[in-house]
Amino acid sequence: MAYELFYWPTIQGRGEFVRLALEEAGAAYVDVARERGTDEMLSILGDAGEPHIPFAPPFLRHGKRLMGQTVLILQYLGDRHALAPKAEAGRLWTHQLQLTIADLVSEAHETHHPISAELYYEDQKREAALRAKHFRESRIPKFLDWFEEVLARNPRGRSYLVGGRITYADLSLFQAVEGLTYAFPLAMKRMRAPRVRELQQAVARRPRISAYLASERRIPFNVEGIFRHYPELDA
């Protein structure tokens, strides 16, 4: 039974974290809005008969199951496709890492929309410049340093965040670092995060991920998504 992913069709956004897990798993999935438009997605969000109504995209349908929230979807896929350890301690730790990546991703979004997600960036540029400065100078280093520490302390080696094999958290950290590097190329050039960079490159080299990244299924970064390159925010 193929998964159905519902997400905005022209951006990577939060949906990309789900896409990467589905791709690495080699799972059959339909990226519904890209293949058939957004009508079905919007009608589920407005469907008065759906008890488990998502708050916002992305959401995933799997048979009778409908679930929203990126980190929840990843936990679900992780369990089904061995993208997280089976043992409880490792499974929880993977989820904890993912939640921290989600915090980083939210803060990256706030850099260009510090006042309201409903206003245009152009209407909050002054505030965005202030927020982006703090994000570049204090938050990116804090998050990257933490992930460096997590990699350094993994008793099974520094190749993965959790244990000795790939998890959805590795895929998501790859995506977060790709996004930060697109949005803040100058700031990221100054960051020292050798283990995170190695992980990023190792994920990009994985056969299924590298095939995905080279395919048309990978939407290029753009200034509509979560990670946006505005040179004035990377000064």
For residue 53, state whether it binds its own copies (rule: CB under 8 A).
yes
The total of other beta-carbon atoms located within 10 Å of residue 95's CB is 20
Q: Which whole-number Å values give the CA distances from 102 to 40, 69, 87, 147, 186, in the listed order? A: 26, 10, 23, 13, 23
* Comparison of 39 and 103: residue with beta carbon closer to its own copies: 103
For residue 39, state whether it binds its own copies (rule: CB under 8 A).
no
Q: How far apart are CA 172 and CA 193, in angstroms?
A: 16
Q: How far apart are CA 184 and CA 144, in angstroms?
A: 14
Per-residue tokens: 212: 């995905």
From 12-20, 69-77, 164-172, 196-204, span contacting its own copies (CB under 8 A) = 69-77
For residue 118, state whether it binds its own copies (rule: CB under 8 A).
yes
Amino acid present at 168:
Y
For residue 172, state whether it binds its own copies (rule: CB under 8 A).
no
| Rounded least distance, CB 178 to its own copies, Å | 21
| Rounded least distance, CB 175 to its own copies, Å | 18
157's torsion region: left (phi>0), alpha (psi -120 to 50) or beta?
A: left
Number of residues assigned to the chain: 235
For residue 122, state whether it binds its own copies (rule: CB under 8 A).
no
- Given 43, 106, 201, 210, the residue binding its own copies (CB under 8 A): 106
* Comparison of 85 and 219: residue with beta carbon closer to its own copies: 85
- Name residue 4's beta-bridge partners: 30, 61
- Contacts with its own copies, residue ranges (CB under 8 A): 48, 50-55, 65, 67-69, 71-72, 75-76, 89, 92-93, 95-96, 99-100, 103, 106, 110, 114-116, 118-119, 124, 127, 130-131, 134, 138, 143, 146, 149-150, 153-155
